[in-house]
Amino acid sequence: MKKILCAVAIFGLVTITHAADPLNGSVWKTIDDETNQAKAQVVFNQQRDGSFIATIQKILVPGEDGICGECEGMYHNKPLQGAVIVRSLKSVGENKYEDGTIIDPKNGKSYRLKGELLNQNKTLKLRGYIGISLLGRNQIWQRIQ
């Protein structure tokens, strides 16, 4: 009986480990949708409620000071490095995510966000929008690790 319980417990741990979301702990290079240039390195982390946040780890554009002069609220005139730019992004299954928000450092505005992992989790397609998804724009981020 002890062997059976031990086997069930180990199987349960293996299942939980494999069920971990591929977005959790991943690091991405953000690509500007207008210039096609890499802008920043961002890491995603899963929160206690299961949603995801993304924090800027590093600014990749030489010469940019990374200060968000246009941002409103707590990021106004603060360095972008360390800023949480994605909040409340939730997994809806099949490597798709919805109900998040993203801050655009160019204008300081916040947009609704949805996304999808593609190409064996090497590409993250994000769509920021106002109101409905048709009124928005896409960005493709590349996985670093």
Domain that holds residue 134: 22-143
Torsion of CA 18, 19, 24, 25, to 10 degrees: -10
**Residuewise pLDDT in 10s, the chain (145 residues):** 555 544 444 444 433 434 589 999 999 999 988 889 999 999 999 999 999 999 999 999 887 777 877 777 777 888 888 989 999 999 999 999 999 999 887 777 899 999 999 999 999 999 999 988 888 999 999 999 8
For 109, how many CA atoms within 13 A lie in the half-sphere containing its CB? 8
At residue 2, the pLDDT reads: 54
Whether 14 maps to a domain, the answer reads no
Whether 17 maps to a domain, the answer reads no
Angle, vertex CA 45, rays to CA 83 and CA 28, nearest 5: 70
Torsion of CA 107, 111, 116, 122, to 10 degrees: 20
At residue 125, the pLDDT reads: 97
Domain count, the chain: 1
Whether 6 maps to a domain, the answer reads no
Whether 115 maps to a domain, the answer reads yes
Spell 79-117 as b/e; 16+ CB within 10 A means b.
ebeebebbbebebeeebebbebebbbbeeeebbbbbbeb
At residue 19, the pLDDT reads: 58
* pTM, entire model: 0.81
CATH number at 118 reads 2.40.128.520
| 31 vs 141: CA distance, rounded Å | 6
